[in-house]
Amino acid sequence: MNYYAVFDVGGSAIKYALMDETGLFIEKSSIPTPKEGLEAFVDTIHLIVKGYEQKADIKGIALSVPGAVDVENGHIEGASAIPYLHGPNIKKLIQDVTYLPVELENDANCAGLAEGWLGAAKMVKDYICIVVGTGIGGALVIDKKIRRGKNLHGGEFGFMVMEDYLEQPIGEAWSALGATGALIRRVAKRKGLKPLSLDGKKVFQIADDGDEEVQDEINKFIKRLAVGIFNLQYAIDPEKVLIGGAISERADLIDKINEALSQMKNNIHTLDVKVEKCQFGNDSNLIGVLYHFLQRRNESKIRN
């Protein structure tokens, strides 16, 4: 059995795990993301890897990271909550200190790859995975492979312009309207609260307690999600549309989105557009980036 050190790098925390080649977790934990800079980040990864090397023969390192990842040369373009990651050759820096092969992939792409390897899209070739959080990210998977696009922006669904484009030069993007962060901001404004005092769970709890104004904002949020999904289905026509992110853990959210989608069907728009929940939740990026590593190294295995 082969073993790998796997990392999911986020703005506030790094989740990490020792995993085998079938995607099985041997152990996992998390640590705050270093704020000091790139050197501290590389040192943190190196220290964790050395700890794992005392327990298993580590064959490689896989990192899920934010930003536009050039998987060939190891650079991360764009911007994120971790500015020091963007620009340097992260892949080479970690390889130079660990003497192990390293592969990087965008975090939303990792979520999509996890579902195609072992999850809700295991039995299909073409699908999209939409990750709803502070913004909206995603992965476009064609024939089981990530479609990156010329500028590495394939799957950046949150940039789609959705509303107010006649009143403004560009209008409002999907992330600004249909993300959990957008819902929180709109509820906070309507209720005269500070956005930092709310999160997605609190917003839905207020609605469950009978607040009609918050219920109205949630209904708009669901409709905006449904419209974006509807457009993507007609533009790409995937076999499945999956949705992930913490908000997808809400038991009735998928049903409400699908209800909104069903109401959009008519004699012109005849497709049965539906969305399914991603299977792996907080573990998806770890599973997906391991699969990315195995694909790149032609070592992928299937676990029944």
Q: What is the pLDDT of residues 31-54, one digit of tens each?
A: 999 999 999 999 999 999 999 999
Residues 127 and 257 reside in one and the same domain: yes
User: Regarding beta strands 76-77 and 68-69, do their DSSP bridges make them parallel or antiparallel, or are they unpaired?
Assistant: antiparallel
Residues 151 and 197 reside in one and the same domain: yes
Counting residues of the chain whose pLDDT is more than 70, the rounded percentage is 98
User: Residue 179: inside a domain, yes or no?
Assistant: yes
Q: Which whole number is the average pLDDT over 151-168?
A: 90
User: Residue 303: inside a domain, yes or no?
Assistant: no
Residues 187 and 262 reside in one and the same domain: yes
Residues 95 and 206 reside in one and the same domain: no
Q: How far is CA 10 from the centre of its chain?
A: 11
User: Residue 14: inside a domain, yes or no?
Assistant: yes
pTM reported for the whole predicted model: 0.88
User: Residue 118: inside a domain, yes or no?
Assistant: no
Residues 128 and 47 reside in one and the same domain: no
Neighbours of 79 (CB within 10 A): 12
| pLDDT in the model for residue 302 | 53
User: Residue 106: inside a domain, yes or no?
Assistant: yes
| pLDDT in the model for residue 210 | 96
CB 291 within 8 A of CB 113: yes
Report the number of distinct structural domains present in the chain: 2
Residue 19, strand partner residues: 4, 25
The tokens for 133 are 């959080």
Residues 137 and 80 reside in one and the same domain: no
* Residue 93: partners with Cβ closer than 8 Å, 6 or more residues away: 38, 42
Residues 27 and 89 reside in one and the same domain: yes
Residues 205 and 261 reside in one and the same domain: yes
Residues 153 and 214 reside in one and the same domain: yes
User: Distance (Å, rounded) from C-alpha 229 to C-alpha 242?
Assistant: 10
Counting residues of the chain whose pLDDT is more than 90, the rounded percentage is 85
pLDDT tens-digit series, residues 102-156: 999 999 999 999 999 999 999 999 999 999 988 898 999 999 999 999 888 899 9
User: Residue 171: inside a domain, yes or no?
Assistant: yes
Residue corresponding to tokens 């794992």: 52
In sign, the C-alpha dihedral spanning 135, 78, 286, 11 is: negative
| pLDDT in the model for residue 303 | 52
CB 183 within 8 A of CB 218: yes
Residues 129 and 25 reside in one and the same domain: no
Average pLDDT, rounded, for the chain: 93
Containing structural domain, residue 156: 123-278
pLDDT tens-digit series, residues 52-71: 999 999 999 999 999 999 99
Q: Which whole number is the average pLDDT over 87-92?
A: 96
What's the CATH number where 64 sits?
A: 3.30.420.40
Q: What confidence tier does 299 reach under pLDDT thresholds 50, 70, 90?
A: low
pLDDT tens-digit series, residues 272-297: 999 999 999 889 999 999 999 999 98
* Residue 87: partners with Cβ closer than 8 Å, 6 or more residues away: 75, 76, 77
User: Residue 302: inside a domain, yes or no?
Assistant: no
User: Residue 265: inside a domain, yes or no?
Assistant: yes
| pLDDT in the model for residue 304 | 46
Q: What confidence tier does 250 reach under pLDDT thresholds 50, 70, 90?
A: confident
pLDDT tens-digit series, residues 8-37: 999 889 999 999 999 999 999 999 999 999
User: Distance (Å, rounded) from C-alpha 200 to C-alpha 202?
Assistant: 6
The widest CA-to-CA distance across the chain, in whole angstroms, is: 63
| pLDDT in the model for residue 49 | 98
Residues 78 and 181 reside in one and the same domain: no
Residues 231 and 133 reside in one and the same domain: yes
